[in-house]
Amino acid sequence: MAEILTRVFQHYSTQGRVTGVGGLGSPSSSSCCLLLGEGGSGKTTLLFLTAVMAASELGLKVLFLCPSPMQTLPAALQDGRASLDPVSLKKMKFVYPRSVEELLGNIARLHVQDRVPPNLVIVDGLDRYLCAEGEGAGEQQQQVAAHLSALLHDTASFLSQVLTGACAETPADPCRRCQVIASYSLSGKGQGEAAIGDPTLSVVERYFPVGCTLDREHPSAGAQEWRASFSGSPCTVGRGPQLGQQWRLTFSPSGAMECSVISEKSLDAD
């Protein structure tokens, strides 16, 4: 869901409100977005902030799946611009599957639960669930990746139908589809290089037509800087981020995050 990621960037922007950001749930936008970046690029922090934004400001129900709990809250949440409303946080559910089998089970159960499904499903560390070793591990890993990615894609479609049906019964409530965001580590390579060298990633990307890639930039004064860029065709990105628009994410030594839009002039200079 590229729209929500863009809203997070805008919320922490040093430039105030940024134009060119579309609304939530555009009919033409894709249901699945893949967040790519090296380890330590702040993907987990960004996903956590996305979950908080979705629950607190948009009123969405969020399911956050990851291999292990976060030890501390992101420093950005200690900023005055962040709000941790206890009522809103009740819309967030954290589940910690320890294996890909457990993860598959948690996602599959969303198809049969008789309660309001989540509007946003976040999977942090998709690559960690797809690790396989030994003879034939590569082929097995790709098969599991296809199974898991297809299930996530199908789940987003199925739950969107459930949510739309529920909205039809209660017209006062806004119709919001189910969206999926998953993160995947690139092992120090850019998106194109990583996809060529990582056949498992190539399989995953078939089911995630929208991508947001975090590329490392030169650090300044001890801060870590990353460039966030969106990929996908206009029919998949929809009214969310503008194609070609990029953001600079700066993480201070304390972990606090600030964002700024990279102008076309800045891109030419780089």
DSSP 15-60: TSS-S----TT-TTS-SEEEEEE-TTSSHHHHHHHHHHHHHHTS--
Identify residue 156 by its one-letter amino acid code.
Answer: A
Which pLDDT score is estimated for 146? 96
Which pLDDT score is estimated for 110? 93
- What single-letter DSSP state applies at residue 91? T
Which pLDDT score is estimated for 24? 42
Strands (DSSP E) contained in the chain are 32-37, 62-65, 92-95, 120-123, 179-185, 210-216, 224-231, 246-251, 257-262
Q: Which two tokens stand for residue 168?
A: 């039809």
Query: pLDDT tens digits for 115-130?
Result: 788 999 999 999 999 9
- What single-letter DSSP state applies at residue 7? H
Distance CA 214, CA 110 (A): 30
Distance CA 255, CA 81 (A): 15
Nearest to 64 by CA among 91, 24, 100: 91
Q: What are phi and psi of 106, to 5 degrees?
A: -65, -40
Question: How many other C-beta atoms lie within 10 A of the C-beta of residue 220?
Answer: 9
Nearest to 122 by CA among 91, 86, 83: 91
Identify residue 269 by its one-letter amino acid code.
Answer: A
Which pLDDT score is estimated for 16? 58
Sheet holding 210-216, edge to edge: 92-95, 62-65, 120-123, 179-185, 32-37, 210-216, 224-231, 246-251, 257-262
**What parts of the chain have a pLDDT lower than 50?**
20-28, 80-81, 169-175, 234-241, 265-270
Query: pLDDT tens digits for 185-221?
Result: 987 555 555 555 788 999 999 999 899 999 988 766 6
Which residue is listed with tokens 């989540």? 118
- What single-letter DSSP state applies at residue 94? E
Which pLDDT score is estimated for 224? 83
Question: How many other C-beta atoms lie within 10 A of the C-beta of residue 216?
Answer: 15
Bridge pairing between strands 120-123 and 179-185 = parallel
Nearest to 250 by CA among 13, 64, 6: 13
Which residue is listed with tokens 């396989």? 132
Domains in the chain and their CATH numbers?
Answer: 2-269 (3.40.50.300)
Which pLDDT score is estimated for 112? 86
